[in-house]
Structure 1
Amino acid sequence: MVWAVLFFTGLAAGTLGSLMGLGGGIIIVPALMFFSVLSPFFADITPQTAVGTSLLIMIFTGLSSTLAYMKQKTVDYMAGGIFFIGSGPGALFGVWLNKDLDVAPFLILFGMFVVIVSFILLIRNKLNPLPIKGRGVRRTYHTETGMEIEYGFTPFIAIVISFCVGMFSGLFGIGGGSLMVPVMILLFGFPPHLAVATSMFMVLLSAFVSSISHIALGNVEWLYAFALIPGAWIGAKAGAAINRRLESNTLVTVLRIFLIIIGLRLMWQGFAGI
């Protein structure tokens, strides 16, 4: 029964993570923390092991969904590589910050972070992307309907922002996509579908770096990971397929509602544990 629960948790994380570019950790970490309270079987789960295990799963989620998005030709490899210059070191810094966090403060901080991201998406339609003119990198995306969408970013600013995103990834085990997708859409003018696909590519790279650090620190529960990985791999491919069929506004609306529910649930669990 426990293994079935973990499999379907991985499936849900992979599907939603790939669909929205989150990486899936925003499902796995809260789920493992909830299971640690619900069942004695998961009593050994701590914030550190939840994050470490989640980041290991993110490697497989990121790889599976990136391969799927590669076939759809919606991954901007150059942008993802530039973002990783910042997110890689940031992820290592986040791992260092995570090592001394207790459960209750971890859940409260994580919940607040998620709610802030959902609020950013709430006001997304009231904000316009920053002007493309004068940016160091300018790109053009051709939609399936033949429309051209121009987006761009200044590498230095992108690297600084990515460092912060990577820090949250290493700290909370979320893959970084929950923040990077809104940043790419709002600040850099990425089309939502391109932002999601490129985010998953960056999640793959960042998760690989930060998970190695967590493995070295002994923060991975391998039995849980082996149960989560198959579902996450299958779910990531399913999420990428669903993403292709959703309209951009629908995708953002689903993401926003999902994040605020998770964020409030985490904060409630954290305050209850104080």
Structure 2
Amino acid sequence: MEYIVLAIIGLASGVVGALVGLGGGVIFVPATLFVAINLGWIDGITPQSVVGLSVIMMIFTGLGSTLTFMRAKTVDFRSGFIFFIGSIPGTLLGAFVNKGLDLPSFNLYFGILLIILSTLLIVRSYLKPVHWFVKRGKPRTFTDKTGESFVYGYPIWFALILTFGVGFASGLFGIGGGSIIVPAMILLFLFPPHVAVGTSMFMVFLSAIVNSITHISLGNVPWLYTIPVVIAAYTGAKIGANLNQKLKSETLVFALRIILLLLGIRSIVDGIWG
């Protein structure tokens, strides 16, 4: 039973994560904690093991979606490597801090993060793009399939600081970091949305490798559960990345805002009164 449940969660996380560049951890972690701890459907699950399972999953969601985005030429590899380098120390620090969290603290902090992310997604369409970072970076130009051109860029020093924070959140909560970096790339660095998603998933792939090494060394990975999660998530990531190239994702992004907000509220309630 638990393998089927994990496969369903992994498939949904892969589809949603690849479609909007979030990596899938923001879906997988709270959903797995809920069915394991609240419903009791999965034995032997702790916040640490869920995070360990999530980062293993994101290696394969990142790989599957990146391969698809590469064929569509919507991955900025240079930016992906820069963001990855900045995230490494934050990822390692976050993974070690995670070791000391009990369940109420984990729920509380994770809930606060989800509400912040949902709020950012809600207001992002009302925020004016920031041109300051593009002017102080090395501008790049991208032309999409419709012929529309985008000029984007960033100062490397700021990108490294930003991605250190993204990496810390990734290591602490087992999320891919895309839920933070994608809005930042679009709002601050003026990335074309499709390039932001493709580059984010490339960064998720690289970061998840480093993140997983840390969590494996800490004994946080329940290996038997990785089999259904990895297979389902990789399949979901391929589906999500293909949908990204064909569909407008605004409807799904709107739903994701609401889902993140509800999950955040529930996680905070569990953290305070659970």
Do both proteins adopt the same fold according to a TM-score greater than 0.5, normalized to the shorter chain? yes
How far 1:246 sits from its partner (Å)?
2.6
How far 1:40 sits from its partner (Å)?
4.6
Supply the distance in 1 between the matched residues of 2:117 and 2:79 (Cα, whole angstroms).
21
Q: Deviations over 1:182-211 (max 9, x none)?
A: 111111111222111111100001110011
How far 1:245 sits from its partner (Å)?
2.2
Structure 2 match to 1:215: 216
Supply the distance in 1 between the matched residues of 2:238 and 2:31 (Cα, whole angstroms).
21
How far 1:224 sits from its partner (Å)?
1.2
Structure 2 match to 1:16: 16
Structure 1 gap ranges (5+): none
Question: Is the CA contact 1:84–1:162 (under 8 Å) kept in the aligned structure 2?
Answer: yes
Structure 2 match to 1:6: 6
Structure 1 match to 2:71: 71
Output the aligned Cα RMSD.
Answer: 1.6
User: Which stretches of structure 1, 4 residues or longer, exceed 6 Å deviation after superposition?
Assistant: none
Supply the distance in 2 between the matched residues of 1:242 and 1:191 (Cα, whole angstroms).
17
Q: Deviations over 1:87-119 (max 9, x none)?
A: 111110111111100111111111110111111
Q: How high is the sequence identity, in percent, across the aligned residues?
A: 51
Structure 1 match to 2:186: 185
* TM-score, scaled relative to structure 2: 0.94
Q: Bigger CA drift: 221-230 or 126-135?
A: 126-135
Question: Is the CA contact 1:65–1:200 (under 8 Å) kept in the aligned structure 2?
Answer: yes
Structure 1 match to 2:113: 113
The amino acid across from 1:68 in the alignment is: T
Question: Is the CA contact 2:134–2:190 (under 8 Å) kept in the aligned structure 1?
Answer: no
Q: Are positions 1:33 and 2:36 aligned together?
A: no
Supply the distance in 2 between the matched residues of 1:104 and 1:173 (Cα, whole angstroms).
16
Structure 2 match to 1:256: 257
Structure 1 match to 2:103: 103
Structure 2 gap ranges (5+): none
How far 1:72 sits from its partner (Å)?
1.1
Supply the distance in 2 between the matched residues of 1:126 and 1:51 (Cα, whole angstroms).
33
Structure 2 SS opposite 1:153? coil
Question: Is the CA contact 2:6–2:32 (under 8 Å) kept in the aligned structure 1?
Answer: no
The amino acid across from 1:182 in the alignment is: P
The amino acid across from 1:104 in the alignment is: P
Structure 2 SS opposite 1:42? coil
Q: Deviations over 1:210-248 (max 9, x none)?
A: 110100110001111112111101000011111122336
How many residues align structurally? 273
1:80-229 matches, cutoff 5 A: 80-131=80-131, 134-229=135-230
Supply the distance in 2 between the matched residues of 1:36 and 1:249 (Cα, whole angstroms).
31
How far 1:41 sits from its partner (Å)?
5.6
CA gap of 1:174–1:235, structure 2 versus 1, over 3 A, is same
The amino acid across from 1:271 in the alignment is: I
* TM-score, scaled relative to structure 1: 0.94
Structure 1 SS opposite 2:63? helix
Structure 1 SS opposite 2:135? coil
Q: Deviations over 1:51-97 (max 9, x none)?
A: 11110111011001111111111111111111111111111011111
